[in-house]
């Protein structure tokens, strides 16, 4: 169900209440970009579905502490998340290049206000690149997802 947004909000709708989450999903690309989905809750609990080109494939759960949520929420708030264009892809932006990953960022607050932003990294929007970089830091991407390992095109190390 869509909700008419006010104050410049775009793509916001009403979802279930009491289940706040921040979700970050990335991949695939032409090369070996990490392909994963991570969902974080306010208490620091997370679920990571790491698919390919990641530190460890599979579904992992854990807790990264409440500070991770506060940092991720601050990143989204500082970026003006609720007013960001919800679709930023080759279909909506000029001068994008091919073979980059697509990132989806979802934020649902405890009152059920929810939005997903879909961003194609080949479009080079600095504000979105910064948001994703900072969200990765808050959600411990380097510790949980990233690896320096080299992969062949099928994902074998």
Taking only the tens of pLDDT, the chain with its 157 residues reads 334 445 588 888 788 888 999 999 999 998 889 999 999 999 999 999 999 999 999 999 999 999 999 999 999 999 999 999 999 999 999 999 999 999 999 999 999 999 999 999 999 999 999 999 999 999 999 999 999 888 887 778 8
Q: What is the pLDDT of residue 7?
A: 58
Write the CB contacts of 27 (distance below 8 Å, at least 6 apart in sequence). 33, 34, 35, 36, 51, 52, 53, 101, 102
Write the CB contacts of 140 (distance below 8 Å, at least 6 apart in sequence). 64, 68
CATH of domain 15-144: 3.30.1560
Write the CB contacts of 106 (distance below 8 Å, at least 6 apart in sequence). 21, 22, 23, 114, 115, 116, 117
Strands 113-120, 58-63: parallel, antiparallel or unpaired by DSSP?
unpaired
Q: In degrees rounded to 5, what are phi and psi of residue 126? A: -55, -40
Q: What SS3 class is residue 40?
A: strand
Q: What is the pLDDT of residue 156?
A: 81
Locate the domains of the chain by residue range.
Answer: 15-144
CA distance 66 to 40: 10
Sign of CA dihedral 50, 140, 89, 98: negative
Q: What is the pLDDT of residue 105?
A: 98
């Amino acid at each position: 169900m869509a909700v008419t947004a006010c104050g410049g909000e775009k793509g916001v709708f009403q979802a279930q209440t009491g289940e706040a989450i921040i979700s970050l999903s990335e991949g695939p690309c032409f090369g070996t970009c990490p392909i994963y989905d991570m969902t974080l809750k306010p208490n620091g609990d997370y679920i990571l579905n790491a698919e390919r080109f990641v530190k460890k494939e599979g579904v992992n759960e854990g807790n990264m502490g409440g500070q991770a949520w506060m940092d991720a929420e601050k990143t989204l708030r500082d970026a003006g998340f609720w007013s960001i264009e919800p679709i930023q892809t080759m279909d909506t932006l000029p001068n994008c290049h091919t073979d980059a990953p697509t990132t989806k960022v979802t934020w649902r607050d405890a009152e059920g206000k929810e939005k997903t932003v879909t961003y194609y990294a080949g479009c080079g929007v600095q504000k979105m690149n910064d948001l994703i970089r900072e969200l990765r830091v808050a959600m411990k991407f380097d510790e949980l997802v990233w690896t320096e390992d080299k992969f062949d095109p099928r994902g074998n190390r």
